[in-house]
Amino acid sequence: MKHALVPLCFALAAWGCQDEEKCERARLATANEWEKVRNEAGRFKFQGVAGYEEMNAAQKTTHLEAFTLMEQQAQLVFESFAFQKISWTTGTKSRDRVVKEFNGYFDKDKYVGFKGLLDSAQKRFSEAEAACR
């Protein structure tokens, strides 16, 4: 009977390793996508897409504040996934703030590429939740 349990233990251990590897891949992919969001938000802070130069001072200030906040919050999401122990609370709150800020941004329709990147990062976040939580 003891010998019959040995293969079962090895099978369970191998299954656990697969899950750990899947989680690790998902975690790293999520960190990578949110790093891209952070970088793009940082790039857009002081330069927008077409039409940015025509914005008035108040609009440029609002733009700077929005993209600064998105950059900072995306950095927190990135950091939440950059290390083996995922910080779900910080990552989730920060992700939600980025999405809320972008959705409320007055000129978001001009940032189609950024929206696509944000959607991709959110998809990766969901995949990491499924693999690691």
Query: Cα(70)–Cα(81) distance, rounded to whole angstroms?
Result: 17
Quickly tell me which residue has 């108040």 as its tokens. 58
Q: What is the pTM of this model?
A: 0.85
128 with 26: CB under 8 angstroms? Answer: yes
121 with 9: CB under 8 angstroms? Answer: no
Lowest mean pLDDT among 44-48, 89-93, 108-112, 125-129: 44-48
Q: Could you tell me which residue, 15 or 25, shows the higher pLDDT?
A: 25
